Amino acid sequence: MKIAGLVLSGRVSSRLALVVFSLMVLGLLVIATGCSESTSDELERVRVEDIEYQLLQGGARILTGSVVNTSDAHIPIAQIRVTLFDEYNRSVDQMMIVVRDIPVGEEIRFREAVRSDFDIRGARARSVLIP
């Protein structure tokens, strides 16, 4: 194997390949765990309930649900990431719902238009970000 002008023997190149592979896997684990949007603290602070997708008679598509503040502090803003599914329950799109001013212990209902080019049949809350 030749790296930066150096010729390496088969034994060294296989060890190097193993080290590089291990570093790549470790890097992916760090990225996956370090970039999540919902920490366990945030999941303890809010609860998303009653997500429902509706296709109205006029063709409008809406998503309704509620956010409950289960913490002991006012939440000025919560961003809810919702995954949208097709008729075969395949994830086809996402949307973000912003809910503001959630008092301690209170439930705030939301209603949001679905803007997607896909034939949506269902939705599920995926994560919550509290900035």
Q: What is the pLDDT of residues 74-116, one digit of tens each?
A: 999 999 999 999 999 999 999 999 999 999 999 999 999 999 9
Hey, CA dihedral for 48, 100, 86, 113, is it positive or negative? positive
DSSP state letter for 117: S
**pLDDT value of residue 89:** 94
Q: Report the alpha-carbon distance of residue 82 to residue 66 in Å, rounded.
A: 13
pLDDT tens readout for residues 40-56 = 455 578 999 999 999 99
CATH 2.60.40.3230 for the 40-129 domain, yes or no: yes
**pLDDT value of residue 118:** 93
**pLDDT value of residue 45:** 85
Q: 71 is written with which tokens?
A: 């913490």
Q: Report the alpha-carbon distance of residue 12 to residue 6 in Å, rounded.
A: 12
pTM of the full structure: 0.64
Q: Report the alpha-carbon distance of residue 119 to residue 126 in Å, rounded.
A: 19
